């Protein structure tokens, strides 16, 4: 690397009671580089980040900032040394302006103690302009898009003079176009000599944006490599500790009868969408943020109201005006937001898994505890959910296992038609492969899957057929043989006009 | 190993913390007054807490959904005076009890309608009901008490079966039933799921509106039962009956360890919480403390108990 070494970690060890979260980890970060941290959930990435950002102390080892040993006592402390972190959940006050948020706690004041608004807005705007951002510093944060809010956080890092910015899954909530804006901003930051520590589950992003990467496994350092010296398979096998030959199972699907049909369904954000799903098929639906894909899935499941249209299951017209009715019609749903919509984190794994099947598990007035425990255990085993006991709160599980609990809930309800919204979001590679395998097995068992994903390699990897949506309408339908990322993206972003699709 | 033991100990304390607080207070009480531990006094305490206990039982359902019901005291007051009125004019105990229960359920239906169907925050909806119903009480009674003169009715508040006071039997029966409903039925699961994460519950196919509505109906129903027990015990229905009882009930639920944000807790510890409040009341009376000062002590105990509770929770979070 051209830049000088700004941060060096040497033999960092972090123990929690009973667990060694980090075991002699090394890391070197250079000026102006984007350094990706790779590892499965539980590999120690988050702990390491928190240590670098001063949010957690380490047990032993040493940390050097531009050659000098440093010890951070708090996140504020780390900030003073020029290390800032952008969290997955933003820490901003929605009712205040962009500028106020950027300078929160450090507002410039005039000699009489009054906030110097002119200076505040001028300086904030300068920082936004530097990053090539096109919104006003006077905008209230609540009126920003997710991407803009994130850019504001990044601009805030500049105002505190950050030399190293840690980004934890920065693209998790962003649409494709917004990701490009983020990447342009990252390029700007690099030019200023700022180092970025980048964490993402999306491998294609890592290869697109980073200069170097470091892989961790089970709290141990595995390797640091320049991006040119490695490739996708290499990184994944380092993360998993074995060769992962193919993430996506081979599918052998032949068109069978139609089991589900939506005819001209409409709702807010969805216009006149019709689609058919066949038995044993995985149908992928994709589109940019705001294309209406998530709305479509929720509309079918009755989670948002349908303005007009008809839904047929096994050729019979069904009323899917509420999730309960949709479930009764044999439709199951896995939300893209498992923490807010998928799970009751406070409650046990068992209660979560049986949540959609309470009626079936009730004998007379009483829940049949034995039957419930058996059914839950079957699912835990079938989906290989790693739990110490089914009484554990769902909130204590890793992302991948939480997602499997949501799957188990839907499967226990015995739905024939499954709607999966972003089924592998925030899930590590190992669990992803398992989820794909589960999907494959389900379709082999005669179930049909509608999967909504913005992760194009995944979508192409798992789907038998793909429908692309734009602005609430379907714009393209392609079969497995014709699928390629460029074509899908071109239609999703409106790069191709509808009469050219030929489909 | 030492860590493990510590963790397990903290977990145990977590489960039985309300019982522990009760024991500590009982030991204090026994030292402060000799007559505290006598059987008659203990039954007396038990009888005193039945009304707050029964309401606390219903309140547990509401608080488990993440809601609150401030109107229980007024429901109790209104159900009590109308039932006593019916009793005075007909002399029919059955009809009077039915009236109280019907009023309780109706009020619960109205509360639940505003909250679950119209989306009005529980605090506001039940605050409105609290004021409205207290007004109804005053209009109905014109401010003067209604005496209860039918023995079979009084039996509900004063009678004993095999030496055990009837209100205590009612209290225990209701708590066991509530415990069964919460832990053994699909409705109970729905309550917990609703309180833990309403949207996830809805998307899991649970009828969230019905579940929430039902919690307020149960609470109204139990307020009606409490009204019967109270008027039967006192031998009259006052226009002020039940005033402030919502605070005792909420305190009992919280002392029982149920989270105000919903989703976690049990109903049985609520009765322990009610006992704690009752014993504090009792011991202050036995010690001849100025009755006006009892609220100061009760308020302080609630604050301290919740503070200790928070510390224990923080400790157990750290142990993990």
Q: Which residues of A touch B196 (CB under 8 A)?
A: 344-347
Q: Which residues of B touch A356 (CB under 8 A)?
A: 204-205
In which band, very low, low, confident or very high, does the pLDDT at A339 lie, cut at 50, 70 and 90?
confident
CB-CB: which of B7, B184, B196 is closest to A346? B196
CA distance B172 to B54: 9
Residue of chain B whose Cα is closest to the Cα of A362: B186
Residue B144 Cα to chain centre, angstroms: 26
Average pLDDT, integer, range A375-403: 87
| Position A252 in a domain | no
B165 strand-pairing partners: B160
Mutation for testing the B interface, residue in A326, A358, A408 having most B CBs under 10 Å: A358
Residues A208 and A268 in one domain: no
Residues A392 and A422 in one domain: yes
Closest CA to A48 of A25, A71, A30, A65: A25
Residues A22 and A63 in one domain: yes
- Rounded to the nearest integer, the mean pLDDT of chain B is 89
Q: Does B206 touch chain A (CB under 8 A)?
A: yes
- The reported pLDDT for the residue numbered B138 is 94
Residues A435 and A338 in one domain: yes
Q: Does B193 touch chain A (CB under 8 A)?
A: yes
- The reported pLDDT for the residue numbered A503 is 40
A86 strand-pairing partners: A167
Could you tell me whether strands A316-318 and A308-313 are parallel, antiparallel, or unpaired per DSSP bridges? antiparallel
Residues A172 and A273 in one domain: no
| Position A502 in a domain | no
Asked if residue A502 has pLDDT above 50, the reply is no
Distance between start and end Cα atoms, chain B: 14
Total tally of structural domains belonging to chain A:
2
Q: Which residues of B touch A361 (CB under 8 A)?
A: 186
Asked if residue A104 has pLDDT above 80, the reply is yes
Using CB atoms within 10 A of its CB, is residue B254 exposed (0-12), middle (13-18) or buried (19+)? buried
Structure tokens at A338: 């498992």
CA distance A309 to A296: 12
- CA atoms in the 13 A half-sphere facing the CB of B26: 14
Q: Does A414 touch chain B (CB under 8 A)?
A: no
| Position A377 in a domain | yes
Mutation for testing the B interface, residue in A355, A389, A407 having most B CBs under 10 Å: A355
Mutation for testing the B interface, residue in A346, A366, A396, A402 having most B CBs under 10 Å: A346
- The reported pLDDT for the residue numbered A15 is 84
Q: Would you say A283 and A275 are in contact if contact means Cβ atoms under 8 Å apart?
A: yes
Q: Does B316 touch chain A (CB under 8 A)?
A: no
Average pLDDT, integer, range A445-460: 89
Using CB atoms within 10 A of its CB, is residue A290 exposed (0-12), middle (13-18) or buried (19+)? middle
Cβ B192–A347 below 8 Å, yes or no?
yes
| Position A245 in a domain | no
CA distances from A473 to A24, A287, A305, A321 (A): 52, 10, 17, 21
- The reported pLDDT for the residue numbered B302 is 77
Q: Which residues of B touch A17 (CB under 8 A)?
A: 3, 7, 319
Question: Worst-scoring range by mean pLDDT, A433-442, A468-477, B20-29?
Answer: B20-29
- pLDDT over 70 percentage in chain A: 95
Q: Does B264 touch chain A (CB under 8 A)?
A: yes
Q: Does B184 touch chain A (CB under 8 A)?
A: yes
**Boundaries of every domain in chain B:** 38-313
- The reported pLDDT for the residue numbered A21 is 82
Contacts of residue A292, Cβ cutoff 8 Å, sequence gap at least 6: A269, A270, A271, A273, A469, A471, A472, A473
Residues A234 and A272 in one domain: no
- Map chain B to HEC letters: CHHHHHHHHHHHHHHHHHHHHHHHHHHHHHHHCHHHHCHHHHHHHHHHHHHHHHHHHHHHHHHHCCCCCCCHHHHHHHHHHHHHHHHHHHCCHHHHHHHHHHHHHHHHHHHHHHHHHCCCCHHHHHHHHHHHHHHHHHHHHCCCCEECCCHHHHHHHHCEECCEEHHHHHHHHHHHHHHHHHHHCHHHHHHHHHHHCHHHHHHCCCCHHHHHHHHHHHHHHHHHHHHHHHHHHHCEECCCCCCCHHHHHHHHHHHCCCCCCCCCCCCHHHHHHHHHHHHHHHHHHHCCCCHHHHHHHHHHHHHHHHHHHHHHHHHHHHHC
Q: Which residues of A touch B201 (CB under 8 A)?
A: 344, 355
CA distance A12 to B174: 57
Q: Would you say A452 and A289 are in contact if contact means Cβ atoms under 8 Å apart?
A: no
CA distance A255 to A261: 15
| Position A248 in a domain | no
Cβ B196–A358 below 8 Å, yes or no?
no
ipTM of the complex in this document: 0.86
Average pLDDT, integer, range A300-321: 91
- Rounded to the nearest integer, the mean pLDDT of chain A is 87
Structure tokens at A250: 């081979």
| Domain-terminating residue out of A240, A274, A307 | A240
Asked if residue A1 has pLDDT above 50, the reply is no
Distance between start and end Cα atoms, chain A: 48
- The reported pLDDT for the residue numbered A501 is 43
Structure tokens at A501: 């699709």
Contacts of residue A88, Cβ cutoff 8 Å, sequence gap at least 6: A168, A169, A172, A173
Residue of chain A whose Cα is closest to the Cα of B207: A324
Q: Does A359 touch chain B (CB under 8 A)?
A: yes
- The reported pLDDT for the residue numbered A56 is 86
Polymer length of chain A: 503
In order along its 320 residues, chain B shows pLDDT tens digits of: 455 666 666 666 666 778 888 888 888 888 888 888 888 888 888 888 999 999 999 999 999 999 999 999 999 999 999 999 999 999 899 999 999 999 999 999 999 999 999 999 999 999 999 999 999 999 999 988 999 989 899 999 988 899 888 999 999 999 999 999 999 999 999 999 999 999 999 999 999 999 999 999 999 999 999 999 999 999 999 888 888 899 899 999 988 888 888 888 899 999 999 998 888 888 888 888 888 888 888 888 878 877 876 776 676 666 55
- The reported pLDDT for the residue numbered B4 is 61
Residues A141 and A176 in one domain: yes
The torsion angles phi and psi of A62, rounded to 5 degrees, stand at -145, 150
Region of A471 on the Ramachandran plot (φ > 0 left; ψ -120 to 50 alpha; else beta): left
Q: Which residues of A touch B11 (CB under 8 A)?
A: none
- Higher-confidence residue of A154 and B219: namely B219
Question: Worst-scoring range by mean pLDDT, A9-13, A260-264, B297-301?
Answer: B297-301
Q: Would you say A421 and A335 are in contact if contact means Cβ atoms under 8 Å apart?
A: yes
CATH number of the CATH domain containing A405: 3.40.50.300
Q: Which residues of B touch A332 (CB under 8 A)?
A: none
Asked if residue A55 has pLDDT above 50, the reply is yes
| Position A136 in a domain | yes
Residue of chain A whose Cα is closest to the Cα of B7: A17
Q: Would you say B65 and B211 are in contact if contact means Cβ atoms under 8 Å apart?
A: yes
Cβ B197–A369 below 8 Å, yes or no?
no
Q: Which residues form the domain of A332?
A: 258-496
Q: Which residues of B touch A326 (CB under 8 A)?
A: 205
Which segments of A265-398 does DSSP mark as H helices, in order? 293-300, 323-328, 349-354, 358-361, 369-382
Residues A282 and A212 in one domain: no
Q: Does A344 touch chain B (CB under 8 A)?
A: yes
Cβ A362–B199 below 8 Å, yes or no?
no
3-state helix, strand, coil in chain A (%, to 5): 35, 25, 35
A32 to chain B, minimum CA–CA distance in Å? Answer: 38
Q: Would you say A503 and A477 are in contact if contact means Cβ atoms under 8 Å apart?
A: yes
User: CATH classification of B38-313 is 3.30.465.10, yes or no?
Assistant: no
| Position A206 in a domain | yes
Residues A234 and A288 in one domain: no
Cβ A341–B200 below 8 Å, yes or no?
yes
CA dihedral A341, A343, A346, A352 (to 10 degrees): 140
CA distance B133 to B45: 29
- pLDDT over 90 percentage in chain A: 39
| Position A246 in a domain | no
Residue of chain A whose Cα is closest to the Cα of B192: A347
């Amino acid at each position: 690397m051209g830049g000088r070494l700004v941060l060096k970690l040497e033999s960092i060890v972090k123990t929690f009671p009973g667990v060694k979260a980090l075991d002699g980890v090394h890391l070197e970060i250079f000026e102006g580089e984007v350094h990706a941290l790779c590892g499965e959930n539980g590999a120690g990435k988050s702990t390491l980040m928190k240590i670098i950002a001063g949010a957690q102390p380490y047990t032993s080892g040493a940390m050097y900032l531009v050659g000098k040993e440093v010890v951070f006592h708090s996140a504020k402390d780390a900030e003073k040394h020029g290390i800032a972190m952008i969290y997955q959940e933003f820490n901003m006050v929605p009712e205040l302006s962009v500028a106020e948020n950027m300078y929160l706690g450090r507002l410039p004041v005039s000699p009489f103690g009054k906030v110097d608004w002119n200076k505040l807005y001028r300086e904030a705007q300068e920082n936004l302009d530097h990053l090539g951002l096109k919104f006003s510093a006077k905008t209230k944060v609540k009126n920003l898009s997710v991407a803009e809010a994130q850019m504001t956080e990044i601009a805030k890092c500049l105002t505190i003079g950050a030399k190293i910015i840690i980004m934890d899954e920065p693209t998790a909530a962003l649409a494709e176009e917004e990701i490009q804006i983020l990447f342009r901003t990252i390029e700007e930051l690099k030019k200023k000599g700022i180092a970025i520590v980048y964490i993402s589950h999306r491998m294609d992003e890592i290869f697109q944006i980073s200069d170097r990467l470091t892989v961790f496994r089970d709290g141990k350092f595995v390797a640091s490599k320049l991006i040119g010296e490695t490739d996708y398979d290499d990184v994944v096998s380092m993360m998993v500790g074995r060769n992962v030959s193919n993430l996506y199972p081979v599918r052998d699907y032949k068109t069978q009868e139609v089991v589900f049909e939506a005819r001209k369904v409409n709702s807010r954000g969805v216009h006149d969408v019709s689609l058919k799903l066949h038995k044993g098929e995985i149908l992928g639906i994709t589109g940019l943020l705001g294309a209406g894909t998530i709305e479509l899935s929720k509309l079918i499941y009755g989670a948002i109201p349908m303005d007009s249209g008809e839904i047929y299951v096994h050729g019979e017209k069904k009323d899917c005006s509420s999730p309960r009715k949709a479930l009764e019609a044999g439709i199951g749903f896995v939300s893209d937001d498992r923490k807010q919509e998928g799970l009751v984190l406070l409650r046990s794994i068992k209660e979560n898994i049986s949540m959609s099947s309470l009626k079936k598990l009730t004998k007379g007035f009483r829940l049949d505890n034995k039957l419930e425990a058996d059914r839950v255990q079957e699912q835990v085993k079938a989906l290989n959910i790693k739990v110490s006991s089914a009484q554990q709160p769902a909130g204590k599980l890793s992302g991948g296992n939480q997602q499997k609990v949501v799957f188990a809930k839907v499967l226990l309800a015995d739905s024939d038609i499954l709607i999966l919204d972003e089924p592998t979001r925030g899930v590590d590679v190992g669990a992803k492969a398992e989820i794909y395998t589960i999907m494959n097995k389900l379709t082999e068992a005669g179930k049909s899957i509608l999967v909504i994903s913005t992760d194009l390699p995944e979508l192409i990897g798992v789907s038998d057929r793909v429908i692309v949506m734009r602005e609430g309408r379907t714009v393209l339908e392609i079969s497995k043989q014709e699928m390629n990322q460029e074509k899908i993206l071109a239609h999703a972003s409106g790069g191709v006009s509808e009469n050219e699709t030929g489909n | 190993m030492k860590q493990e033991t510590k963790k397990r100990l903290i977990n145990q304390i977590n489960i039985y913390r309300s019982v522990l607080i009760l024991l500590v207070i009982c030991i204090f009480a026994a030292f402060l007054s000799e007559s505290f531990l006598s059987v008659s006094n203990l039954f007396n305490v038990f009888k005193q807490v039945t009304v707050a206990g029964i309401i606390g039982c219903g309140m547990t359902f509401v608080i488990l959904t993440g809601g609150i019901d401030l109107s229980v005291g007024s429901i109790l007051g209104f159900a009590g005076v109308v039932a006593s009125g019916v009793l005075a004019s007909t002399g029919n105990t059955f009809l009077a009890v039915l009236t109280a229960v019907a009023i309780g359920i109706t009020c619960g239906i109205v509360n639940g309608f505003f909250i679950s169907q119209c989306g009005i925050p529980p605090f506001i909806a039940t605050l409105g009901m609290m004021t409205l119903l207290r007004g109804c009480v005053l209009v109905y009674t014109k401010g003067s008490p209604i005496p209860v003169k039918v023995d079979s009715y009084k039996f509900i508040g004063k009678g004993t079966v095999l030496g055990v006071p009837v209100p205590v039997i009612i209290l225990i029966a209701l708590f066991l039933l509530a415990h069964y409903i919460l832990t053994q039925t699909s409705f109970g699961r729905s309550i917990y799921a609703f309180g833990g994460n309403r949207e996830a519950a809805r998307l899991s196919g649970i009828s969230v509106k019905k579940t929430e509505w039902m919690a307020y109906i149960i609470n109204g129903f139990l307020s009606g039962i409490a009204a019967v027990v109270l008027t039967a015990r006192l031998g009259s229905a006052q226009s002020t009956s039940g005033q402030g009882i919502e605070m005792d009930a909420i305190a009992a639920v919280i002392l029982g360890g149920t989270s105000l944000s919903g989703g976690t807790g049990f109903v049985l510890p609520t009765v322990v919480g009610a006992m704690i409040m009752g014993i504090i009341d009792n011991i202050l009376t036995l010690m001849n403390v100025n009755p006006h000062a009892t609220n100061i002590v009760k308020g302080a105990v609630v604050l301290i108990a919740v503070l200790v509770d928070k510390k224990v929770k923080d400790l157990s979070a750290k142990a993990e």
